[in-house]
């Protein structure tokens, strides 16, 4: 079962009001203010009324002990109705969205080290697929909670102000949500009905674009968008079998075209950007556009903003043993470029030539994560660098001593002064240039990227089959999200997930690995014990051996572990395993094709 990392727990009305007050104030100074789009709000209210009605109908059916198939049919209708307004709820009421359609696992309050009971559609899915009568009371309790969330939607849409730029931004996010979470079945991991739901999500986009359009776009971009949405819907009508659907064609041939055309719509309607820094650049036509991602969305603040000058200086320091205590080790010692910035060892070696606790993770794409190290103990790359430098087993450096060396070096002193305009280098500046170099390592130039940009010859037939299996039958994409293929959740990319896999000590899968992972820092949170960050699969072909302990020598060993159902599948008692323990039933040729696809993720 899939786990979505937590959203902040906020007072609902306060968060919604604050969002719009901030946006409104910025528009007063920087862009024209649109009047409140009452027609859009009315449409959401109408859909929400239908949503609540259908929930009550399901409650009645459950109370009457109706047939399982009938209950599931009504449940599917409820989900499709929600999908029509998902764009608005996810964007405007994210806290409510989490408890309407979030994963069926506890919401974690990291600061308080507590868990909040899961609720919503995914919890209901677990109880309806299959349905057992003894769960009737619990199902109705969850349905009552869902009605309360529907009332929250109604209340909020009576008081909030919705403007055209916000509506468009929300619709664009929904299109990208379909291209990542939607296409992978992230929120229907048990029923697997996601391909049946995508037309409802697309319908919500289409109807709302029609509402906010003017004569500027009606016969231009809007018309083209409607044509593409209709074409995508026709494809989905023909095949909704997740195991045989042609994802590798559907994304570039339909979903990418829709997000591209939405930019044309924005330009024709002269809709300004919402002035908020986001991971996906506002001018990115697709997930796979060159320079689609903004590394500054992952920095601690504006002064840490990425620049090529910082990255160049960071590269020099990354390879300089000046950062270690005895000038005998650099960052590049354990992060070798040819190995996608890993070291090729099961576990990295300490200064005393003994094994460290874990495998050296790749630094490629590490800039697009909220949480560094396997246990996510640091929030960002700036914190990661100082942790490694000062660790007595890794570099045993003293930041103050290092700064003294740098400030005595004329070349380094001049380089830092040019960038930061300060007389002496400070700790945060050293951290920032190293982090900037690591942020520069995300190239997005793999054969897969080229294929998604329109070069249909960039991937082999086996790699295409592998991608279809990766998204469909193997369900890899519900943890390794397209397009980053890590655990940073699209389309907002504000949270990075951890997972409990039940990993063994090695590929023989005979002994459970007792490393607590993130749980070491949250001892009272049961769901975090033995959890580890979901790393990127980009360049995975270069980073053997695998897993946090380096115990799996080959990708074949890793795939066999997943195919069996993770730790539970091998008989380990992992009560909090977030990976589904249902065997994937992949054949040997299918496993080989998935591995071939992962090779298409290598940067060139």
pLDDT band at 35 (very low <50, low <70, confident <90, very high): low
Q: Per residue in 520-534, pLDDT tens?
A: 999 999 999 999 999
Q: What are phi and psi of 418, to 5 degrees?
A: -65, -40
Q: What is the mean pLDDT of residues 372-388?
A: 94
Q: Per residue in 205-216, pLDDT tens?
A: 999 999 999 999
pLDDT band at 36 (very low <50, low <70, confident <90, very high): confident
**What is the model's pLDDT at position 246?**
98
- In 341-409, where does DSSP find H-type helix? 381-390, 399-408
Q: Name the CA radius of gyration of the chain, rounded.
A: 25
Residue 33 predicted with pLDDT over 70 = no
Q: Per residue in 142-186, pLDDT tens?
A: 999 999 999 999 999 999 999 999 999 999 999 999 999 999 999
**What is the model's pLDDT at position 14?**
35
**What is the model's pLDDT at position 32?**
44
CB atoms within 10 A of CB 114: 13
If you search the block for the tokens 């990425």, which residue do you land on?
Answer: 306
Question: How far apart are the C-alpha atoms of 215 and 224, rounded to whole Å?
Answer: 14
Among candidate residues 509, 314, 562, 518, the one with its CA nearest the CA of residue 431: 314
Q: Which residue has the higher pLDDT, 79 or 11?
A: 79
pLDDT band at 506 (very low <50, low <70, confident <90, very high): very high
Contact 341, 535 (CB under 8 A): no
- Four-CA torsion 330, 333, 337, 342, nearest 10 degrees: -120
Residue 250 predicted with pLDDT over 70 = yes
Structure tokens at 364: 């490629």
Lowest mean pLDDT among 103-107, 267-271, 304-308: 103-107
CB hemisphere CA count around 171 (13 angstroms): 31
Structure tokens at 221: 């971009």
Please provide the DSSP assignment of 445-462 as one string.
-SHHHHHHTT-TTSS-HH
Residue 3 predicted with pLDDT over 50 = no
**What is the model's pLDDT at position 156?**
96
**What is the model's pLDDT at position 20?**
39
**Cα–Cα distance list, 62 to 52, 144, 266, 406, 561 (Å):** 15, 12, 45, 70, 38
The helix/strand/coil state of 265 is helix
- Four-CA torsion 554, 560, 563, 566, nearest 10 degrees: -90
Lowest mean pLDDT among 17-21, 326-330, 597-601: 17-21
**What is the model's pLDDT at position 483?**
98
Residue 498 predicted with pLDDT over 50 = yes
Q: What is the mean pLDDT of residues 119-129?
A: 96
**What is the model's pLDDT at position 31?**
44
- Four-CA torsion 71, 72, 78, 81, nearest 10 degrees: -140
pLDDT band at 479 (very low <50, low <70, confident <90, very high): very high
Lowest mean pLDDT among 107-111, 174-178, 465-469, 559-563: 107-111
Pick the CATH number of 297-439 from 1.10.760.10, 1.10.3720.10, 3.40.50.150, 3.30.450.20: 1.10.760.10
How does the average pLDDT of the chain come out, rounded?
Answer: 92
Lowest mean pLDDT among 43-47, 327-331, 502-506: 327-331
Residue 282 predicted with pLDDT over 60 = yes
If you search the block for the tokens 């819907």, which residue do you land on?
Answer: 233
CB atoms within 10 A of CB 61: 16
Element (H, E) at 252: none
Q: What is the mean pLDDT of residues 240-267?
A: 98
Lowest mean pLDDT among 42-56, 254-268, 399-413, 531-545: 399-413
In this prediction the pTM is: 0.91
Element (H, E) at 115: strand 114-116
Evaluate whether the domain defined by 447-599 bears CATH number 1.10.760.10. Answer: yes
């Amino acid at each position: 079962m899939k786990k979505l990392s937590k959203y902040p727990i906020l007072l609902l009305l306060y968060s919604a009001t604050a969002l719009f007050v901030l946006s409104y104030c910025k528009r007063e100074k920087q862009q024209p203010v649109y009047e409140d789009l009452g027609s859009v709000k009315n449409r959401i209210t109408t859909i929400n009324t239908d949503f609540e009605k259908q929930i009550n109908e399901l409650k009645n059916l459950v109370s009457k002990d109706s047939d399982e198939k009938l209950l599931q049919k009504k449940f599917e209708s409820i989900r499709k109705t929600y999908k029509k307004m998902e764009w608005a709820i996810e964007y405007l009421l994210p806290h409510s969205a989490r408890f309407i359609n979030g994963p069926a696992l506890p919401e974690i309050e990291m600061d308080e080290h507590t868990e909040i009971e899961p609720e919503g559609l995914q919890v209901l899915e677990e109880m309806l697929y299959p349905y057992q009568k003894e769960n009737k009371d619990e199902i109705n309790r969850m349905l009552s909670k869902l009605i309360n969330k529907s009332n929250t939607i109604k209340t909020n849409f009576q008081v909030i102000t919705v403007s055209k730029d916000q509506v468009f931004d929300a619709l664009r996010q929904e299109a990208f949500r379909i291209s990542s979470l939607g296409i992978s079945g992230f929120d229907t991991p048990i029923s697997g009905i996601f391909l049946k739901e995508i037309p409802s999500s697309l319908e919500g986009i289409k109807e709302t674009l029609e509402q906010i359009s003017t004569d500027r776009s009606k016969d231009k971009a809007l018309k083209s968008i409607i044509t593409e949405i209709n074409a995508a819907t026709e494809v989905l009508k023909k095949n909704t079998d997740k195991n045989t659907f042609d994802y590798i064609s559907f994304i570039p041939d339909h979903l990418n075209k829709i997000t591209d055309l939405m930019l044309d719509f924005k330009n024709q309607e002269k809709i300004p950007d919402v002035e908020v820094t986001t991971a996906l650049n506002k001018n990115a036509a697709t997930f796979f556009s060159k320079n689609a991602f903004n590394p500054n969305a992952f920095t601690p603040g504006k002064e840490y903003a990425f620049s090529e000058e910082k990255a160049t200086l960071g590269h020099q320091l990354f390879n300089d043993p000046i950062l270690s205590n005895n000038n005998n080790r650099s960052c590049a010692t354990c992060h070798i470029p040819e190995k996608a910035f890993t070291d090729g060892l099961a576990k990295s070696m300490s200064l005393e030539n003994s094994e460290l606790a874990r495998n050296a993770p790749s630094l490629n794409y590490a800039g697009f994560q909220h949480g560094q190290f396997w246990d996510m103990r640091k929030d960002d790359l700036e914190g990661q660098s100082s942790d490694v430098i000062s660790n007595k087993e890794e570099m045993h450096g003293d930041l103050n001593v290092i700064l003294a060396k740098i400030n005595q070096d004329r070349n380094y002193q001049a380089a830092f002064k040019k960038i930061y305009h300060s007389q002496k280098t400070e700790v945060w500046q050293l951290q920032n240039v190293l982090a900037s170099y690591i942020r520069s390592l995300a190239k997005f130039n793999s054969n897969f990227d080229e294929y998604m940009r329109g070069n249909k010859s960039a991937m082999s037939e086996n790699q295409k089959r592998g991608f279809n299996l990766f998204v469909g039958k193997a369900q890899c994409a519900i943890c390794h999200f397209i397009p980053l293929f890590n655990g940073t959740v699209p389309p907002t990319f504000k949270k990075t997930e951890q997972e409990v896999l039940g990993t063994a000590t090695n590929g023989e899968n005979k002994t459970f690995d007792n490393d607590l992972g993130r749980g070491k820092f949250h001892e009272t949170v049961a769901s975090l014990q033995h959890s580890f960050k979901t790393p990127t699969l980009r360049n995975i072909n270069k980073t053997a051996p695998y897993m946090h302990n380096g115990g799996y020598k080959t990708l074949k060993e890793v795939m066999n572990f997943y195919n069996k159902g993770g730790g539970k599948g091998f008989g380990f008692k992992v009560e909090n395993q977030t990976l589904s323990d249902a065997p994937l039933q992949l054949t040997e040729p299918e496993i080989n094709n998935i591995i071939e696809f992962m090779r298409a993720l290598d940067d060139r």
